[in-house]
Amino acid sequence: MTNTWQDIKNANLVIVMGGNAAEAHPCGFKWVVEAKIENGAKLVVVDPRFTRTASVADYYAPIRPGTDIAFLLGVIRYLLEKDKIQHEYVRAYSNAGLIVKDGFGFEDGLFSGYDHEKGDYDKSSWDYELDEQGFAKVDDTWQHPRCVMSLLRAHVARYTPEMVSRICGTPQDKYLNICEMIADTSAPDKAMTSLFALGWTQHSVGSQNIRAMAMVQLLLGNIGVAGGGMNALRGHSNIQGLTDVGLLSNLMPGYMTLPADHEVTFDDYMKTRQFKPLRPGQTSYWQNYRKFFVSFQKSMFGDAAKAENNWAYDWLPKLDIPLYDIIKAFEMMNQGEMNGYICQGFNPQQAFPDRGKIRRGLSKLKFLVTMDPLDTETSRFWENFGPQNPADSATIQTEVLQLPTTCFAEEDGSLVNSARWLQWHWKAAEPPGQAKSDIWIMSQLFHRIRELYRKEGGAFPDPILNLTWNYTDPTEPASAELAKDMNGRARVDIKDASGAVVLKAGQLLDTFAQLRDDGTTDSGCWIFTGCYTEKGNQMARRDASDPREQGIAPNWAWAWPANRRILYNRASADLAGNPWNPQKPVIQWDSTKWVGIDVPDYGPTVKPSESVGPFIMNAEGTARLFARDQMVEGPFPEHYEPLESPVSNILHPKVSANPAARVFADDRKAFGSPSEFPYVATTYRLTEHFHFWTKHALINAILQPEEFIEIGEVLAQEKGIAQGSWVRVASKRGHVVCKAYVTKRIKPLSVDGKSTHVIGVPLHWGFTGQARKGYGANTLTPSVGDANSQTPEFKAFLVNVESVNGPEV
Amino acid sequence: MTEPPMADLQSQNYIRRSASTLTPPSVRNHEDEVAKLIDVTRCIGCKACQAACMEWNDLRAPVGTFEGTYDNPLDLDPHTWTLMRFTEYENEQGNLEWLIRKDGCMHCEDPGCLKACPAPGAIVQYANGIVDFISENCIGCGYCVKGCPFDIPRISPVDHKAYKCTLCSDRVAVGLEPACVKACPTGAILFGSKKDMTDWAGERIVDLKSRGFENAGLYDPPGVDGTHVMYVLHHADKPSIYAGLPENPKISATVEFWKGLIKPVALAGIAASAVVGFLHWVITGPNEVQPEDEKEAERVLAAEREKRGSENPYIGGGPA
Amino acid sequence: MTRPKGTLIRNPTLIRINHWITAACFVLLMLSGLSMFDPLLFWLSNLFGGGQWTRAVHPWIGIVLVVSYAGMVVQFWRDNLWTKDDSAWIRAIDRVLANKEEEAVPEVARFNAGQKFVFWSMALLIPILLFTGLLAWEVYFGTASSIETQRAALLIHSLAAIAAIIIWIIHVYAAIWVRGSMRAMTQGYVTPGWAWRHHRKWFRSLAATGSSGPRPHVDSSETRK
Ligand SMILES: Nc1nc2c(c(=O)[nH]1)N[C@H]1C(S)=C(S)[C@@H](COP(=O)(O)OP(=O)(O)OC[C@H]3O[C@@H](n4cnc5c(=O)[nH]c(N)nc54)[C@H](O)[C@@H]3O)O[C@H]1N2
Ligand SMILES: Nc1nc2c(c(=O)[nH]1)N[C@H]1C(S)=C(S)[C@@H](COP(=O)(O)OP(=O)(O)OC[C@H]3O[C@@H](n4cnc5c(=O)[nH]c(N)nc54)[C@H](O)[C@@H]3O)O[C@H]1N2
Ligand code: HEM
Ligand code: HEM
Ligand code: SF4
Ligand code: SF4
Ligand code: SF4
Ligand code: SF4
Ligand code: SF4
Ligand SMILES: [Mo]
């Protein structure tokens, strides 16, 4: 989230598209209700199904899964055509006026630089034209044919209302109505908030879905303001924390990236990370990259990381491919290239696409370790549970080790929520049985492995042997100790220019501004610096007071970065520093400093006249309508059909799906065709369950006991499917036999003149737990991911459905 | 008594007590009437309330099956005191609405269950308006089921006691809001004095009307003298579209008659017949066989004996 | 049981047993039913071990009653068929009530019109009570019919019960009032004088066929004449 949960109440328009906030985030959804009641806000829902969110919406429109980009580029076209953009804002805070290189182009669904052989782009043309000083050229009148605004106009011209409706199946009148509601928030004192989650991410064009809406928000001047923003409603209670501390295969803590193979030296590595400002006077905060990086290395390796060994740069793993995501991992298992797997708090047998492939992969392992409080399907993948898990145990040699762990209520710690708040929690109960904390288990592993390296040497023992491990109880570091490591300390007395000691050795740091690149500070995750200071555990703060009753309680827990609650809040004020919306100012310039309810984006005394852009992480200082080379499939979003789609791309049939998507050969063979699998399916969650674990809890099992699919009345009638009767749903990859919920909430969509049916598949069932045995939605889903993040395309694929007499036995 | 007195801790503020002919203890009269306001228009059907009710009251219905609806369990039962009922409704404009109503006891001001209950003190109403079942007094007859205009109480087949939402009388008694209210994430359930809730509903209705729900209104049916659980409805003119919420609930005329007039009349009738009998006895006395009757009978028998021969043992003869 | 010489059998053993089963059931049903009918009488439930027991046991007793009364119907129905004499007897009820049965009251066969009324009204009310009682029987049939039906059932059940109770009171009073009746149902016999006074036609038919009761010898009456 750029903003915070409470801030949603400041919105004039709430758009839930690409998510189902009421069902997946019922607690946070109270702020939407608050916006409606206290702020007279309208709620718009765009979803293939009429969801529980839609049940309290002012306006609902259906959309075919996987076509949001067409819808949103259509919205952009509408805004530009009707001139419903916030000009001053766009001019100052976006890259609309920057001029793009001559070689950049887009034709027949492909941007310039595509290599058909490799299925990949050479992105060198996706950049600005620079002047002699290395600054991007700019035309703030937006007249230049190659300025971003002109290119954007040309790019979205194809997305007429007719075209949007033909692609998305959304009736034109509904679509235009929504365009109008959105356009109204281009007024400087009006804000729209975008709430989204997997309805956008789980597509082969997932990241671009989000970009498209971010561009809409930018044009409307809705980023950085109260009640606005791009608000990704995150998933697991600490999934935000997971990304923050870099638990993705290509990341390091604080969104630093792992080196690639070709970045042999530390200097190579730094070159591509410390972006120089692309506009005069801009900050380009990544210029501080070195400080964050060195402090991280010091935190990891202590004294062993020193200037002489380039801060132990060589001890970091280097990537030979862009990333080792989960789809890749299971591909490698299937190819016999990965033969051990530690599955910590993860249930891929149910959670990942193409369950058959997952089972086959796990079956080829030498060993599988599961660390989980529950008896998951992954731990039992080898056992025959009937049609729901038809494993042939005798042929499976995998040794499975189940390690029972504690869960959050059985330990102290912090969780980072969607609003980037680090909230401390306290142990409430003793763990049952032999359960041990994840920290204990990992520590045990570490000590044993280090011992082995000590005794036996091995190929590359250095990183393991030199790892810092200073804890009161080395066998089980306390959560607070780990939190302090994340925060970081001064390693020596640190003096200011006058020689006075500003930080004593060992002192906890207050802000990442104190980090240094000379090895005198350490910090495990620079964005977290400030969470645990000499003043105590900031995450444990519980002061709910909200000084202006505007949804910002600065003393409740702690938000990264620097306790900032609304990112890009500088953009909430105009160039002179006066708030666009005087009713709901976030920060403003009082002629000497920035004041307000939030921590400003940059130094509190940086004058507006210095025109430092609010988007300090970007070298331009502005937000990007044109993404340069940051996205795999293009600097502008473009509508590509899902890998499995009932129609080919109307705009460019030859390049129907995302040309930059990574598809493994076997997975491609497992894609179905619309002739065989004529219906579009999408998968999603229900309020009553959390993924695959609440089925172990009796109350949840009672509230939603059995697997089912949702199917519209028209298709049900065609197929002779009665309410609550048994059906068999099949994709090229497998089938599920379960009950049917025949509903008015899914209606056939007219896509390019053809009636298209959507089938809804809730994902929660499996073969362990207290609810009734089920197959799980991922029996059906295709193994392909978003071209940027590799988030699987769970939300749009093809199936067939037929009525059957009863359950399979 | 082996069971601890359940929920009877509030016995001093009863205003109604089932099957009681004497005034129940009711000294605490300085109490506001309470109400739970369920704003159907902001309910997202998350069932947190249902789960909270199960948690607080330690209720666990059996794990059921999917039957083509999100209503789970499928109906109220002794373990399910509140239940979200989902209705897919196509309005006049042809737009879909998904109406989600939290079903459960309405805590009627004039409770039909209490009227019907034959067991003294099995159903009570507190001064704050809450209608509560006191299980130890319940005999399991099921009359409350017949008395209720909302089809709420359920009789356990195990212990033969009636169960329904207590409006968390145990929590309310110690100043807490009901468990379901506490759990509701959207504030769709509110709890407070009946007046405050009515006022707040008024504000909600203004907002709803401004959003095009011309018939938005408060459901506080006068037929049962109002309820202590009220709904804000988008379509207050058509309550029945909300999974059969009664249009104009009142205690059934059959029940009124059964539990009203016929009781005194019947008892009077029974007493009267006994009295008439007694008077007849006093006035007329017993109807006794007279010696003449025996003589006449003997005469007839003698004649008969003569006719047939005296050897006939049967006529007026010995043992059968 | 020894029957004094010269007396007539009014109610043979089997009938007496059955009658008293019926009577006992009825009394228990009445007591238990009334305890649920009116709070004034709820204390009666103590006789059954409390409300739960009362509620539980009542319908079962009802079933026993139905069975035993069915037996009585089999035993009695022929002698309860209505005749012209019965109508005349009803018209002369004032004299009957005044203990003046000899004054132009038609001669009575085995049962008088009052007894027939008891017999037939019970024969009507008990099935009604059974049927409505089953509908109201929460434990087994609580969901078998609509609540509306159950409401009507309970209303009818209680009305029928009240009617039955009033009839029962009349019946019992008659048994007390007409001396000798009790013995007829306890020990089973009546004196010829009792029969002559109250059921003269019955008496004549026994005498005429040489039967000592309870019914005339139909076959022998013809042959022996
Ligand atoms: N109750 C509950 N809450 C949860 C979870 C849970 O398991 N249960 N999981 C948590 C986690 S980990 C996550 S990541 C979040 C996810 O939160 P959400 O993303 O909100 O959840 P989903 O149900 O996966 O998908 C949301 C909606 O996307 C719609 N959709 C599908 N395809 C498309 C499309 O192409 N376009 C548009 N516009 N919509 C589409 C679906 O119909 C669905 O209604 O929820 C979190 N919260
Ligand atoms: N078809 C389809 N598939 C999907 C999705 C979809 O929308 N559609 N959504 C995807 C999304 S967004 C997500 S996040 C994934 C979720 O996929 P998973 O994360 O695999 O699913 P969970 O059931 O949440 O599994 C988490 C496990 O962590 C365990 N756990 C809980 N607390 C702890 C702890 O403290 N320590 C340890 N070691 N374990 C713990 C739980 O018991 C549980 O078994 O599913 C994905 N799969
Ligand atoms: C013939 C079979 C009978 C059956 C199956 C039956 C069943 C029932 C049932 C189920 C009830 C509800 C209470 C409970 O569950 O126990 C009831 C109530 C009652 N029964 Fe019966 N019963 C029968 C016969 C009788 C008879 C013969 C009488 C009359 C003497 C009687 C009098 C009553 C009364 C007065 C009530 C209470 C009604 C009220 O509360 O208004 N029942 N009966
Ligand atoms: C508990 C109280 C009862 C008493 C004291 C009682 C007494 C008697 C007596 C004395 C007779 C014999 C009359 C005769 O032989 O002419 C009789 C007959 C009879 N009783 Fe009862 N009775 C009782 C209850 C009942 C009940 C509850 C029923 C039916 C539901 C019943 C049905 C009959 C019938 C059908 C006869 C045969 C004569 C007739 O048709 O009236 N009695 N009873
Ligand atoms: S996990 Fe459940 S209780 Fe917790 S915030 Fe999300 S919806 Fe609310
Ligand atoms: S709703 Fe039914 S059970 Fe609840 S108080 Fe009213 S009559 Fe009684
Ligand atoms: S079942 Fe209902 S009516 Fe009967 S005693 Fe219990 S509470 Fe009262
Ligand atoms: S008030 Fe209490 S008993 Fe009633 S539904 Fe809510 S939680 Fe359940
Ligand atoms: S908890 Fe609130 S929002 Fe959720 S179902 Fe219940 S009333 Fe509706
Ligand atoms: Mo997630």
**Domains of chain A (ranges plus CATH)?**
6-237 (3.40.228.10), 653-803 (2.40.40.20)
Residue A798 pairs with which residues in a beta bridge? A680
Q: What is the pLDDT of residue B311?
A: 53
Q: Report the gap between the CA of B57 and the closest CA in chain A (Å).
A: 12
Chain C residue closest in CA terms to B150: C147
Q: Of A134-143, A347-356, A503-512, B5-14, which range is least confident?
A: B5-14
Residues B22 and B142 in one domain: yes
Residues B184 and B37 in one domain: yes
CA distance A302 to A485: 11
Q: How does the average pLDDT of chain C come out, rounded?
A: 92
Residues B268 and B126 in one domain: no
**Nearest CB to C196: which of B21, B263, B297?**
B297
Each residue's pLDDT tens digit, A141-150: 999 999 999 9
Query: Rounded to 5 degrees, what are φ and ψ at B315?
Result: -75, 110
CA distance A564 to A552: 10
Residues B191 and B282 in one domain: no
CA distance C83 to A174: 84
DSSP A337: S
- Closest Cα to atom 35 of ligand 2: A407
Say how many residues make up chain B: 320
Every domain of chain C and the residues it spans: 13-94+111-179
Chain B residue closest in CA terms to C1: B319
Between chain B and chain C, are at least 3 CB pairs below 8 A? yes
Which residues of chain C are within 8 Å of residue B133 when distances are taken between CB atoms? none
- Closest Cα to atom 8 of ligand 5: A27
Strands A587-589, A594-596: pairing kind: antiparallel
Residue B19 CA: which ligand 7 atom is closest?
Answer: 8
Residue B105 CA: which ligand 6 atom is closest?
Answer: 4
Each residue's pLDDT tens digit, A578-626: 999 999 999 999 999 999 999 999 889 999 988 889 999 999 999 999 9
Q: Report the gap between the CA of B222 and the closest CA in chain A (Å).
A: 28
Residues B132 and B261 in one domain: no
Cβ contact A705–B186 (<8 Å): no
Which residues of chain B are within 8 Å of residue C139 when distances are taken between CB atoms? 140, 155, 157, 160
Q: Report the gap between the CA of B225 and the closest CA in chain A (Å).
A: 30
Ligand 8 near B178 CB (within 6 A): yes
Q: Of A161-170, A508-517, A560-569, B1-10, which range is least confident?
A: B1-10
Q: Of A12-21, A352-361, C85-94, which range is least confident?
A: C85-94
Chain C residue closest in CA terms to B277: C173
Query: How far lies A506's CA from each of A482, A485, A486, A503, in Å?
Result: 15, 11, 14, 8
Q: How does the average pLDDT of chain A come out, rounded?
A: 96
Which residues of chain B are within 8 Å of residue C158 when distances are taken between CB atoms? 258, 262, 266
* Position C222 pLDDT exceeds 70: no
Q: What is the pLDDT of residue B315?
A: 52
**Residue C216: band (very low, low, confident or very high) from pLDDT cuts 50, 70, 90:** confident
Chain C residue closest in CA terms to B302: C207
Residues B84 and B128 in one domain: yes
CATH number of C13-94+111-179: 1.20.950.20
3-state secondary structure of B275: helix
* B286 prior amide bond cis, ω within 30: no
Query: How far lies A635's CA from each of A76, A165, A619, in Å?
Result: 15, 24, 16
Each residue's pLDDT tens digit, A656-665: 999 999 999 9
Ligand 8 near B191 CB (within 6 A): no
CA A47 to chain CA centroid, nearest Å = 19
Residues B156 and B260 in one domain: no
A761 at B interface, C-beta within 8 A: no
B21 occurs within a structural domain = yes
* Position B230 pLDDT exceeds 90: yes
Residues B260 and B113 in one domain: no
Ligand 5 near A236 CB (within 6 A): no
Residues B162 and B278 in one domain: no
**Nearest CB to A55: which of B63, B100, B210?**
B100
Chain A residue closest in CA terms to B55: A699
In this prediction, what percent of chain A has a pLDDT beyond 90?
97
Each residue's pLDDT tens digit, A557-584: 999 999 999 999 999 999 999 999 999 9
Are A505 and A492 spatial neighbours (Cβ–Cβ below 8 Å)?
Answer: yes
**Nearest CB to A703: which of B41, B50, B65?**
B50
Give C119 Cα–ligand 3 centroid separation in angstroms: 20
Give A791 Cα–ligand 1 centroid separation in angstroms: 13
Q: Is A777 exposed, middle or buried (0-12, 13-18, 19+ CB in 10 A)?
A: buried
Would you tell me how many other CB atoms lie within 10 Å of the CB of residue A415? 18
Residues B281 and B223 in one domain: no
Q: Of B272-281, B308-317, C64-73, C144-153, which range is least confident?
A: B308-317
Give A541 Cα–ligand 5 centroid separation in angstroms: 20
Each residue's pLDDT tens digit, C16-63: 999 999 999 999 999 999 999 999 999 999 999 999 999 999 999 999
CA distance C206 to A565: 110
Averaged over A93-98, what is the pLDDT? 97
Q: How many domains does chain B have?
A: 2
Residues B86 and B167 in one domain: yes
Averaged over A20-48, what is the pLDDT? 97
- Would you list the DSSP string of A656-721? -B-TT----HHHHHT---TTTS-EEEEEE--TT--TTTGGGSHHHHHHS-S-EEEEEHHHHHHHTP
Cβ contact B316–C6 (<8 Å): yes
B318 at C interface, C-beta within 8 A: yes
Are A297 and A631 spatial neighbours (Cβ–Cβ below 8 Å)?
Answer: no
Between chain A and chain B, are at least 3 CB pairs below 8 A? yes
Q: What is the pLDDT of residue B318?
A: 40
**Residue C217: band (very low, low, confident or very high) from pLDDT cuts 50, 70, 90:** confident
Would you tell me how many other CB atoms lie within 10 Å of the CB of residue A84? 19
Q: Report the gap between the CA of B286 and the closest CA in chain C (Å).
A: 5
pTM metric for this prediction = 0.94
Q: What is the pLDDT of residue A632?
A: 96
Q: Report the gap between the CA of B144 and the closest CA in chain C (Å).
A: 10
Are C51 and B119 spatial neighbours (Cβ–Cβ below 8 Å)?
Answer: yes
Chain A residue closest in CA terms to B69: A741
Are C173 and B277 spatial neighbours (Cβ–Cβ below 8 Å)?
Answer: yes
In this prediction, what percent of chain C has a pLDDT beyond 70?
96
Residue A467 pairs with which residues in a beta bridge? none
Verify whether residue C171 is a known catalytic residue: yes
Which residues of chain B are within 8 Å of residue C35 when distances are taken between CB atoms? 118
B315 occurs within a structural domain = no
Give A759 Cα–ligand 10 centroid separation in angstroms: 21
Residue ranges making up the domain that contains B286: 252-292
**Nearest CB to B146: which of C154, C203, C212?**
C154
Q: Which of C171, C198, C199, C217 is catalytic?
A: C171
Q: What is the pLDDT of residue A275?
A: 84
* Position B6 pLDDT exceeds 50: no
Residues B206 and B281 in one domain: no
Averaged over A140-160, what is the pLDDT? 98
Give A695 Cα–ligand 10 centroid separation in angstroms: 17
Each residue's pLDDT tens digit, A738-747: 999 999 999 9
3-state secondary structure of A648: coil
**Residue B314: band (very low, low, confident or very high) from pLDDT cuts 50, 70, 90:** low
**Residue B309: band (very low, low, confident or very high) from pLDDT cuts 50, 70, 90:** low
Ligand 8 near B166 CB (within 6 A): yes
Which residues of chain B are within 8 Å of residue C6 when distances are taken between CB atoms? 316-318
**Residue A283: band (very low, low, confident or very high) from pLDDT cuts 50, 70, 90:** confident
**Nearest CB to B60: which of A702, A738, A739?**
A702
**Residue A495: band (very low, low, confident or very high) from pLDDT cuts 50, 70, 90:** very high
* Position B5 pLDDT exceeds 50: no
Residue A681 pairs with which residues in a beta bridge? A759, A797
Q: What is the pLDDT of residue C221?
A: 43
Averaged over C214-218, what is the pLDDT? 83
Ligand 7 near B144 CB (within 6 A): yes
Cβ contact B141–C3 (<8 Å): no
Say how many residues make up chain A: 809
Q: Report the gap between the CA of A519 and the closest CA in chain B (Å).
A: 48
Annotated binding-site positions of B for [4Fe-4S] cluster: 43, 46, 49, 53, 105, 108, 113, 117, 138, 141, 144, 148, 165, 168, 180, 184
Are A26 and A687 spatial neighbours (Cβ–Cβ below 8 Å)?
Answer: yes
3-state secondary structure of A572: helix
Q: What is the pLDDT of residue C224?
A: 38
Q: What CATH number corresponds to the domain at position B98?
A: 3.30.70.20
**Nearest CB to B294: which of C40, C152, C192?**
C192
Each residue's pLDDT tens digit, B105-163: 999 999 999 999 999 999 999 999 999 999 999 999 999 999 999 999 999 999 999 99
As for the ipTM of the complex, it is 0.94
Each residue's pLDDT tens digit, A535-549: 999 999 999 999 999
* Position A416 pLDDT exceeds 70: yes
Would you tell me how many other CB atoms lie within 10 Å of the CB of residue A507? 17
Are A143 and A153 spatial neighbours (Cβ–Cβ below 8 Å)?
Answer: no
Residue B226's Cβ-side half-sphere holds a number of Cα atoms within 13 Å equal to 13
C9 at B interface, C-beta within 8 A: yes
Q: What is the pLDDT of residue B310?
A: 56
Give A560 Cα–ligand 10 centroid separation in angstroms: 21
Mutate to test the interface with A, among B98, B99, B213, B235 (most CBs of A within 10 A): B98
Give B272 Cα–ligand 10 centroid separation in angstroms: 78
- Closest Cα to atom 6 of ligand 8: B180
Q: What is the pLDDT of residue B313?
A: 47
| Chains with 3 or more CB pairs under 8 A to chain C | B
B306 occurs within a structural domain = no
Residue A115 pairs with which residues in a beta bridge? A120
Which residues of chain B are within 8 Å of residue C48 when distances are taken between CB atoms? none
Each residue's pLDDT tens digit, C109-156: 999 999 999 999 999 999 999 999 999 999 999 999 999 999 999 999
